[in-house]
Chains A and B, each alone.
Chain A
């Protein structure tokens, strides 16, 4: 026997432990599913053990094959023992050998020849598995029957019935139990394992419905099992639609157990069980397909949403970069424009000074220099005035805006920055606020600037990295917005000229943000101020007039 000693990295179980698990699993499942069998032989229309063995061979590898053989043989022996019959060693080993040989060949084929994804993430994977199961079930059933007939106690006349029972039993085992084994082994949280809250209630309700239906269809002698079987499709399809493949598999397992329980309880004729199992196979295939299609759609939807989110983030980033670029460009132009007259003024002043120092003869030329200097100063003042007009952008486009939507938009734009810095941003606002009259883009600029400053300050501090944004109606005429951070606060010497241009403590800032913000807020008829300078929390506030004052 090939007992490998390697260990599984995920579970830490050595191979022999997996082997024993497989063997015990096969015997237990075989005993639990003992229904409509020929006396003393595990020839029955419900063989979850075969499906379990097949699944384990697929996920753990062919080296489990000897354990499968042992398990299958032990199951036959156990069946004999349970029926108080003498153990038939030859038949047990022959049946175990033929079953494990068939399962081994099929598992090897699936693993090597087809590119089946054992997590069953695509429709094609499940199709392959089912096709192999449909081809495999008759083959191993025939081999097993052959073993029982040639070595064991089965009479030739019973071979055909036995074959049919085994066939449907193996088929359902591989259609339901094998996918369950594969899904349990698949990496990542399954959808069933990830559910919580309301979903638990829903699942409980669905399970309840299934159990009641199973009792109604199979548990009451008066009702016709075959006529009512289709009722099972309702809750089962609901399982598949709501919870995908995992839901479908769980529902199928539950239904199968309930159905078999009731059938056994009322000693249902074996031939009927075989027929019901055939119907059950159709139910299984349908629900599994529905489940996997739902899963695929869900994944496609999630991928699409992730893509959209990415695109939105990229858009926001692009907008930010462009804005920064525009500010940089403007700063560069501005510095050139201002430096020119400044250079001229300095040169004229120095020339005048030197001429006057040289004596009275230079007075006339010095006067000309000073006159030129004044002209240049006026020029510089004009440039600055034009700049202010540019920043104010003349008459902004004002409209009535929901202040909450405005703040939410800005929070969305600032979110990537905050996330990167590990800063949490919370919003405190009443659900309903009157509209304000504002230019949407300009107000975004103000909010985004305050938020970005707050996030950066929070990162720099050693607080909880929390930025809170507040919105409230103030005195019936305006909305007051506050942006609070737990950063280190604002240095004493900066405070007096906080809203002046180029007042910055940051190494890479231009110090234009608050200056521009003030220009915008004041152009809207609002006010912006520093409410708390820190160090125990910094808070900026500004007001925006209501669209319709109360």
Chain B
């Protein structure tokens, strides 16, 4: 039916401009109707057990969301055929029920009205397109296939991202068998080439590292960001939390892992580290080499070499010595990780260290590359670029990615693309690449797709659609089938055929297997098999520090994937655009991050426009200060400045790809910085990061914790009689473990998705208005860190503090409300009655935590930002949460809709609410289990156990608000050797 829509519109609009036609075809009236229909094919359990379907009760389906060649295992909540919320797949070891912010935001992009709705043909690439039907495309394809058959596919190139779908990989392999002269190239801007080349150096073949943080007792991250954004985040963060008992059993003697970070720019891993050393990237190889030598992992004079090599002064040497000592002590329980931004030698050195300590197989395993396609992407895309330049490419099929935007600038891919006679682009959005291809074919959203995907641990899960495609789109499988001459094949058939072949066995057995696989979302026993490589071979001697590029004048410009937009693919997603960057709290754009010292030297204040010059290429973007960043380093996030990303993403921030070179994709040396003149109003959600001597984020050294008596957090006196707990069925409470919080923002997006929280847009954020019910405050540890400062304790260690509503028992916001819109429920919730609210805002002005959020404009509907008011987006909304109009105050409710749903279920089942029956959206999303929620009356509840811990405390408790939400002080497992070193900070500053 959607096909009819667009083809009809296409016929009607041969002469019309593409956008107008799409608006017509969109004819939004039809779409919500379409949006509410289940897929044609059988999905489980919907069709099989209709008796299970209760109107108003959501169903949950296991599937996977692809990200950079890995499938994130998820379970999607669907209301009457409308996917509304993504949760992690608890059955899948790589998720354990948690997700990252990207997965949470997937439901929003599904309903993006800017998605491509019909095939578009361009006579002149870059020009306006004409709507065509799929038949029209297939007709054109027939001609080309004839040519391929004759030439064996010479001139046919297939460009994809690393493939996570075994079925798709098999299809491509088959296609290549059919057209031997064709070639398959891959590109991924955030790639692991360095790691794989390091493995080649060490082991002679590309092997992939799977860290097992849970088993580690001492971890060293060499510019590695295992806890940072990316496909591995959820799995590794869970492991890390397991290795750091923090909130769980802090004093039962279980050894707690210690985390060291050596990095140039602040990362989530660096923020979580117990000790962190800020080094210029050019010094990190030397540090690694010295360390390896010290540990005897490579021939060398150890500390002498380090002394000779390490230019970073006494503190860095003490740091190195301490790390070496700790790693040696941990032995096989040690783990050295090198980051994708580090050159291959550092990876090779890390392999040597791990090998020497016997850690391989214990704290990490090595596996063959999990993703399909050529292992190294840089050479692959370079080869394609060469062919394009030589005009040897007659047919180009681009699946996924966005090479015209994110390929290395020096390959000039975008310049060559239009010359290709027959270029096909399959993507859900008309992005930069689509604009330069002859044919743009709309692709299914992952939630509309039948497929399969491998997760970061190599496990395979089936991908089932939650909804019939909203638009006239196809999946990559279907396009591949068409290329292979079978345009009729559906994704469902292709997938089943692939797996029936792989499974063998009889039909009935397969059906059982199929249903189980769909239900679980993960296939049994398919994790990547660790390989046992030969002993690691040390790399050739690394460049000595102080020599080579380190000496190059100017700044080293580092490229990092954006924590919210990743490589730019999420630029069209308003939730992610408005997701604050963890450290600068910047939204809706990127900035040049400079160490405060450098910024002062350049007289660049926050918000000043800086001019970034690297032979010829120039960027102008605002500056933010990045405490804890190494001197002489400037950092910029990729993924911004999109030219074709719809009304939400187009033109936000500055595109840094033009400065990126294939030779060194992560770092550009000799960059000149200067003030460009002029300022830009930064749309940030927080601009004061010091605690000003206030008791906000408590940090305790693990050693000191053992000496703490329980229940030290005393309640201030009250004029009123004190019931221990107000009467009521339950007494809900929450404890947030600040040692576990890594600042990944998953909870913020989860809350937004669950509670229909609107986006306000950059202008409003710049005015200081936000709507996030749950925010993560970032503070800098006081200069003399309460828990013993070290080199990085010079007031630049970030501390994360998630702040939802505290649900105070003596809520200041309630007595001031003139209409009783803010009232206390029996279960102790601090409820907000939206219908009763007249908008005096007295509640927020008296809330010491300032967690209430006011609809200054009609953000949800009438005055929604960009195209967010489009009716199609309404399909995403949670039917159990009311949408708030203009002039109404709203706030965190502890996900009261989930509480009542769980209560109804328990009542129906005639059993009491057991602990864990109610899981708030933020709690469910958190990969580290930092958030515990439950009934304070239930002695067995995790939340009760946590509240009894000695380091449990109430934020601003001395105000007497009696918050139900309390915090566990952040535990720091500092190394006494370094904790004693209090002068390091100044020293490092002096030499940075």
The yes or no verdict on A and B being binding partners is: no
